[in-house]
Structure 1
Amino acid sequence: MAQLFSIFLVCITLGTGLVWAFDHWLLAPRRRRQLALAEATGNLDQDRRDRLLAEPGLVESCRGAFPVIAAVLVLRSFLYEPFQIPSGSMMPTLLVGDFILVEKFAYGIKDPVWSKKLVATGEPQRGQVFVFKHPLEEGKVLIKRVVGLPGDHILYRHGQLYVQPACQGGQQPCPAMAEVAKVPKAQGAFFQGNLALDTSTEQLGKVKHDILSNPMVPDRTGQYFRQSGHRPGEWTVPPGHYFAMGDNRDNSSDSRFWGFVPEQNLLGRAVFIWISFDMDRSADSWLPTWVPTGVRFGRLGPIK
Structure 2
Amino acid sequence: MSSINLPLILTLAVLVTGLVWLFDALVLARPRKEKVAAVDKQFTGMALETEQQKMAYEDAKSVAAREPVLVEYAKSFFPVLFIVFFLRSFLVEPFQIPSGSMIPTLEVGDFILVNKFAYGIREPITNTQLIPVSKPQRGDVMVFFPPHAPTTYYIKRVIGVPGDHISYINHVLTINGKVIEEKLVAELPAGAPYLRMVKETIDDKTFTAFKHFQPGPLSVRGSWVVPEGHYFMMGDNRDNSLDSRDWGVVSENAIVGKAFAVWMHWDKFFSVPSFDHVGVIK
TM-score by length of 2: 0.88
Q: Corresponding residue for 1:201?
A: 199
Structure 1 Cα separation of the partners of residues 19 and 161 of structure 2: 44
- 2:7 aligned partner, one-letter code: S
Kindly provide the CA deviation profile for residues 160-214 of structure 1, in whole angstroms up to 9, marking residues without a partner as x.
Answer: 00101xxxxxxxxxxxx111121111112487xx344111110011100111110
After superposition, residues 151-162 of structure 1 pair within 5 angstroms as 151-162=163-174
Check 1:243–1:19 CA distance in 2 against 1; reply closer, same or farther (3 A cut): same
Q: Quick one: which amino acid aligns to residue 236 of structure 1? A: V
Unaligned runs of 5+ residues in structure 1 are: 165-176, 223-231, 280-289
Residue 245 of structure 2 is matched in structure 1 by 256
- CA shift at 1:40, angstroms? 3.7
2:223 corresponds to 1:234: yes
Letter in 1 for 2:257: G
SS at match of 2:238: coil
Establish whether residue 91 from structure 1 lines up as the match of residue 103 from structure 2.
yes
CA–CA separation in structure 1 for the residues paired with 2:68 and 2:36: 16
Matched, 1:119 2:131: yes
1:237 partner amino acid: V
> 2:185 maps to which residue?
185
Distance 1:122 1:25 in 2: 42
AA matched with 1:77: S
Cross-structure match for 2:47 = none
Quick check: 1:157–1:219 contact (8 Å CA) kept in 2?
A: no
Q: Letter of the aligned partner of 2:210 in structure 1? A: L
In 2, the alpha carbon distance for the partners of 1:92 and 1:42 equals 73
Query: Are 2:278 and 1:300 equivalent residues in the alignment?
Result: yes
Q: What letter is aligned with 1:52?
A: A
> Could you tell me how far 1:46 is from its partner in structure 2?
2.4
Per the TM alignment, residue 106 of structure 1 is displaced from its structure 2 partner at its CA by 1.3
**Number of aligned positions between the proteins:** 270
Query: Given that residues 39 and 60 in structure 2 are in contact (C-alpha distance below 8 angstroms), is that contact kept between their aligned partners in structure 1?
Result: no
Task: Indicate the residue corresponding to 2:51 in structure 1.
Answer: none
The alignment's TM-score, normalised by the length of structure 1, stands at 0.82
8 Å Cα contact 1:158/1:219 also seen in 2: no
Give, in angstroms, the shift of residue 239 of structure 1.
0.4
- The AA in structure 1 aligned to 2:249 is F
Aligned to 1:25: 26
**CA shift for structure 1 position 236:** 0.9
**Worse overlay, 109-118 or 181-190:** 181-190
Instruction: Find the counterpart in structure 1 of residue 35 from structure 2.
Output: 34
Shift of 1:110: 1.2
- Where do 1:36-75 residues align within 5 Å? 36-40=37-41, 43=44, 45-75=57-87
